[in-house]
Structure 1
Amino acid sequence: MILLNKFHTKIIVFKWFNLETLFSKELITLSEKERKIFFSLSKKRKKEFLGVRYALRYIGIMNLFYNEKRKPFLFPQKKYISLSHSFEKIAIAISSYHIGIDIEKFRKNKIIKVKEKFIREDESLFIHPNQEEEYLHIIWGIKESLYKLEGGLSSSFLDHYKVSPFCINKDFCISCWILKKSYSKRFSAFYRKIDEHYLVYIIDK
């Protein structure tokens, strides 16, 4: 499913069906380095690892490169890429600009348990109690996308990222911020719901 193909940016979401068949075929094409990584992972991580690589190769991307911040990019195309996966869905964003993407399956209990790790006091003020879980998933997706866009290695979701007030189903473009001691910068985040998943992306144009 291609969700966006403009502004020098393409966003694609894959949904897996015959997982075991695809994974067994994909394992054959792994490089020696990738195989070492693969066999060190848990069963869940193995599926995610193979799923992402299958999706990349399906759209013609054979190799990823990483900068000093562990941020992936494509060469020689000189394009940026961001990846996310959650259960049966995989999201890939490719752009001429810095970009961050996140896809998360709606899981009420889990998001409630971890909200204190990423929700600031000023953000909690605009979260409607009747839609708390939806707000939490979108805010998490925004901060995860900012993290990937920035290429941060130790950024705090509480201290370094901030989401401005918004209303679900009314505001599909949400203002958000990277806040650091040396600088602050505003971005626009976009989100949509796909089946039981929330997709968020941010392009630094």
Structure 2
Amino acid sequence: MIIVFIWKNFYETMFSEKLILSDKEKIFFLSLSEKRKREFLGIRYVLRYIGIKMNIFYNEKKKPFFFPEEKYISLSHSFEKIAIAISYYKIGIDIEKLRKNNKIVKIKKKFIRDDESIFINPNYEEDYLHIIWGIKESLYKLEGGILYSFLDHYKVSPFCIKKDSCISCWIIKKSYSKRFYAFYRKIEEHYLVYIIDK
């Protein structure tokens, strides 16, 4: 079972933290910034809205998990959208707003490997960069935030926008590498990416 849920304009949704937070969640909530508080509340609102009443906890790397349920959850936020993925398998999800301001182009050296730069079509560079970032962010979440270098620990195989919606990608460790398949889709001005570890 895999559930991927996108919630739009969650900042505009009116709700009370008292109605949707458990006592344990309130303690964690108080330590967050204002932006993170809105995201935290938005996620819980969406989960209740779709009928999921399990509490979310966070490990030392701030990776969310359900307890005692044996389901995996991954979360992402981008401007007015929240993306939530729930599965019986480990899963990573990312949603990114496509911004035409060259911001992602300016930081591409921090996450694009030499063997990835050769297949990026310059006419669609920002699209490619957003998708590759989303894939690596999803792999990072899938792995639990342990492997932090987007250059050294994650690799995306060549793909072509508008032809491929399933992309081969890798987590690279010292002892071995593991192949995954990333699925992406454009939703309005956002790219949604998710990866499942079956």
The 3-state SS of whatever aligns with 1:191 is strand
* Equivalent residue in structure 2 for 1:132, among 125, 146, 168: 125
**How far apart, in 1, do the equivalents of 2:33 and 2:62 lie?**
21
TM superposition score normalised by structure 1: 0.86
Cα contact 2:131–2:193 (8 A) shared by 1? yes
The 1:18/1:182 distance shift into structure 2, 3 A limit, reads closer
**Matched residues, number:** 196
The aligned residue for residue 178 of structure 2 is 185
Which amino acid is the alignment partner of residue 45 of structure 1? R
Gapped runs of 5+ residues in structure 2? Answer: none
The 1:202/1:132 distance shift into structure 2, 3 A limit, reads same
State the superposition RMSD in angstroms.
Answer: 2.0
Cα contact 2:54–2:67 (8 A) shared by 1? no
Asked if residue 116 in structure 1 is aligned to residue 143 in structure 2, the reply is no
Percent identity over paired residues? 73
The aligned residue for residue 165 of structure 1 is 158
Structure 1 stretch 145-154 or stretch 81-90: which is displaced more? 145-154
Which amino acid is the alignment partner of residue 173 of structure 1? C
TM superposition score normalised by structure 2: 0.89
**How far apart, in 1, do the equivalents of 2:165 and 2:93 lie?**
15
The 3-state SS of whatever aligns with 2:107 is helix
Deviating runs (4+, > 6 A) in structure 1?
none
CA offsets per residue over residues 24-62 of structure 1, 9 Å max, x none? x23554345544443443332222222112112223234
Gapped runs of 5+ residues in structure 1? Answer: 1-7
Which amino acid is the alignment partner of residue 80 of structure 2? E
Q: How does 1:1-205 map to 2 (within 5 A)?
A: 8-16=1-9, 19=12, 21-22=14-15, 25-59=16-50, 60-67=52-59, 70-109=62-101, 110-205=103-198
The 1:188/1:195 distance shift into structure 2, 3 A limit, reads same
The 3-state SS of whatever aligns with 1:152 is coil
The 3-state SS of whatever aligns with 1:182 is coil
The 1:9/1:50 distance shift into structure 2, 3 A limit, reads same
The 3-state SS of whatever aligns with 1:45 is helix
Deviation, 1:72, is 2.8
**How far apart, in 2, do the equivalents of 1:193 and 1:125 lie?**
23
**How far apart, in 1, do the equivalents of 2:82 and 2:130 lie?**
17
**How far apart, in 2, do the equivalents of 1:67 and 1:47 lie?**
20
CA offsets per residue over residues 55-74 of structure 1, 9 Å max, x none? 12223234013456543332
